[in-house]
Amino acid sequence: MSDIDDGLHTPVDAARGIGTPPVDALRAAGTPGPPVGGPAFDSDHPPRADLVSDCVHCGFCLTTCPTYVLWGEEMDSPRGRIHLIGQGLSGEPLSDSMVTHFDRCLGCMACVTACPSGVRYDRLIEDTRAQVERRHPRTARERALRTAIFALFPYPKRLRLLRGPLRAYQMSGLQRLVARSGLLQRLAPTLATLDSLAPRLRGVPRPPARVRARGARRAVVGMLTGCVQSAFFPDVNSATVRVLAAEGCEVLIPPGQGCCGALSVHNGRRAEAQRFARKLIDTFERCGMDYFVVNAAGCGSSLKEYGELLADDPVYAERAAAFTAKVRDLSELLAELGPVAPRHPLPLTVAYHDACHLAHAQGVRAQPRALLRGIPGVELRAIADPEICCGSAGVWNVLNPVPAAELGDRKAKAVLATGADLLVTANPGCLMQVAAAVRRRGGSIALAHTVHVLDASIRNLGPAALLDRD
């Protein structure tokens, strides 16, 4: 990164997160390649020019951006990508180089938190990705991988079909043998990533469609079971139901609720995300619920944006806005209601990891920490560089296995340095990503969702229930 002062720009200082990049550097890095068919963006929800102009290129986003931290490349920073979006709005074609820099963004939204000007980078990158998905011709390999991902991950029933073969693969010892050989990593990095991310499966019965509140009923709550969550972390859903019931909530879990559309919308598949959103609204809006609770950070951020996703739909616009008003992350709802169930001691040191789509996209940071501190015996320890994503980012780690592993290793090193007994977070992707990175480093730490800790305290299970989960 250049640190020259041309009299027009503040010199870049990434360590302090300030500075305007030299114009020549921006232009050179953003020079588009061969035209691929007219201007970058069409008239169907292009990124907004007024949001682009909000960026003053101050540089406060630099040290919070995972890809800039990895590579120090201006076009792989939020302000660099905003510059490219501006080029596209001025008529430049959607080049391969442009798309590469857009694809490299994890969508962690740490830059949104860091930005002193309130730039809506979240809206800019989401609209840009929808344009890329519709207008940019991808290679045959890219198309095949993305088709496979989106034919599987947003469909809970299809994911559950994998549980049997995956459990047999894990129990047979074949998974350990494959990992030790390193063959899969050399021949098929994407498959190796999926193999390393697969969690240890637990047999947990599905929760019933309705669970009564224990004691006086304080609220009626609809609950999202999710896709990856229901298939690979059913214990998180079971613990969520128990905690909600203990706190006086009647829980409604309609069968066949399907995907919320988070993976689709975060990857530019807007029409697909809208279909999922409409179905979920249809499923829950007649339940008579007071709140709709979510225990997966990525899902929650998308559910809270249904009003924007369906704003142009004359049938669903108002219904989506009404639905969104009821959406709460689990920690938000529990903090809002206040505790009634007794907490029993858990003498544990806990490192709490902020899932990006909870902390940055939803702004939920204090509530989960307050819930954990409300448990006698729990000592919270801070993780260094908490704003840097662990590298999961939905399916970004599958599409970009090498840099995702680098980010995972950074996070695992910071987590292990806390010396905590337990790592707690609120997103299935984070749990899988950090667990895989800890194993790669040869480290050891127990991992749990926030609700596991609350459940163990309310049920007086003791620390062993959390530390001996495998």
Kindly state whether residues 371 and 424 are assigned to the same domain: yes
Kindly state whether residues 346 and 460 are assigned to the same domain: yes
pLDDT given at position 170: 67
Q: What is the CATH number of the domain that holds 92?
A: 1.10.1060.10
Kindly state whether residues 354 and 328 are assigned to the same domain: no
Q: Render pLDDT for 105-152 as a digit per residue (tens, 0 to 9).
A: 999 999 999 999 999 999 999 999 999 999 999 999 999 999 999 999
Structure tokens at 385: 């560089």
Question: Averaged over 209-224, what is the pLDDT?
Answer: 96
Domain-terminating residue out of 89, 106, 135: 135
Q: Render pLDDT for 399-417 as a digit per residue (tens, 0 to 9).
A: 999 999 999 999 999 999 9
Q: What is the CATH number of the domain that holds 445?
A: 3.40.50
Structure tokens at 12: 């870049």
Kindly state whether residues 393 and 460 are assigned to the same domain: yes
Kindly state whether residues 325 and 249 are assigned to the same domain: yes
Q: What's the domain range around 44?
A: 23-135
The answer on pLDDT for 233 being more than 80 is yes
Distances in Å between the Cα of 152 and the Cα atoms of 131, 148, 224, 300 are: 23, 6, 18, 20
- Which comes out higher in pLDDT, residue 166 or 214? 214
Burial of 177 by CB count in 10 Å (0-12 exposed, 13-18 middle, 19+ buried)? exposed
- Look up tokens 């009404």; give the residue: 322
- Using DSSP, state whether 134 is helix, strand or coil: helix
- Residue 9 is assigned to a structural domain of this protein: no
Asked if 128 and 102 touch (Cβ cutoff 8 Å), the reply is yes
Question: Averaged over 214-242, what is the pLDDT?
Answer: 93
Distances in Å between the Cα of 353 and the Cα atoms of 183, 387, 412, 428 are: 32, 9, 11, 12
